A and B are shown apart, each in its own frame.
Chain A
């Protein structure tokens, strides 16, 4: 399973784009990158996933570098409700394994 590395915390101003980085240099060719978030005391929530192409949905955009060693989750217009822990996960043989994630604090 690919090991992922994320900064422990980040701040973002409300209304601005939040760019959350993730390093996954050991990811193999068929492993996807998944992003989840966990708002305080709630269960984790799926955001988006991708393999090699950039992806966008109603929640966020996912930019994966051409060498697939890193990716960035973009919340285009962060709101206070986006304050949460964001997890970047590389898939593997086992079910999803969550690391410590990035705690994003959106400031008013």
Chain B
């Protein structure tokens, strides 16, 4: 298994531009998570899906952020318009199992490093 695959690995963009981050979870995993990591705030949960349905999006900072999971093998995190304070590493993770301990055994991707100028 190739693990959780994220793209792009690095993105540099200008303020106001739209950014789309992509994630392919591990095949067979039914939960998908988006986290953001900065030096100031550490690792923050943004949103997570179970069986392609958003369960908790209370961590999404504001309306400029949106996440979708159109099918079990693909998810996107979109920022529109982007701002310098969105600069961070964005991690996607997936897990299997609903409600059991397996649901909290997350496999993380390598992350997407976003820089907004």
Give the interface of A toward B (CB within 8 A): 32, 34, 36, 38, 41-46, 49, 87, 91, 94-100
Determine if B105 and A49 form an interchain contact, defined as CB atoms under 8 angstroms apart: yes
Determine if A44 and B43 form an interchain contact, defined as CB atoms under 8 angstroms apart: yes
Q: Scan B17-50; emit 1 where CB is below 8 A from any A CB, else 0.
A: 0000000000000010101000000110100100
Residue ID in chain B nearest A34 by CB atoms: B104
21 pairs, CB–CB < 8 Å, chain A vs chain B:
A32-B101, A32-B104, A34-B104, A38-B43, A41-B89, A42-B111, A44-B106, A44-B108, A45-B108, A46-B107, A49-B101, A87-B43, A91-B104, A94-B45, A95-B48, A95-B55, A95-B56, A96-B45, A97-B45, A98-B35, A98-B45
Determine if B45 and A43 form an interchain contact, defined as CB atoms under 8 angstroms apart: no
Task: Give A61 Cβ to nearest chain B Cβ, in Å.
Answer: 17
User: Is B93 part of the binding interface, using a Cβ–Cβ cutoff of 8 Å?
Assistant: yes
Q: Please, how many angstroms separate the alpha-carbon atoms of A34 and B104 in the complex?
A: 8
Q: DSSP class of B's interface residues: helix, strand, loop or mixed? A: strand
User: Is B110 part of the binding interface, using a Cβ–Cβ cutoff of 8 Å?
Assistant: yes
- Interface size class of chain B, counting residues whose CB lies under 8 Å from the partner chain: 20 to 34
Contacts of B89 in A (CB 8 A): 41
Q: Please, how many angstroms separate the alpha-carbon atoms of A46 and B3 in the complex?
A: 13
Contacts of A38 in B (CB 8 A): 43
Determine if A98 and B42 form an interchain contact, defined as CB atoms under 8 angstroms apart: yes
Determine if B110 and A96 form an interchain contact, defined as CB atoms under 8 angstroms apart: no
Since A32-B101, A44-B43, A96-B106 are in contact, a sample of 11 more A-B pairs with Cβ atoms closer than 8 Å, ordered by chain A residue number, is: A41-B111, A42-B111, A43-B108, A44-B91, A46-B107, A49-B101, A87-B43, A95-B33, A96-B45, A97-B45, A98-B45
Given A32-B101, A43-B108, A100-B42 contact (CB < 8 Å): yes
Residue ID in chain B nearest A101 by CB atoms: B42
Determine if B56 and A98 form an interchain contact, defined as CB atoms under 8 angstroms apart: no
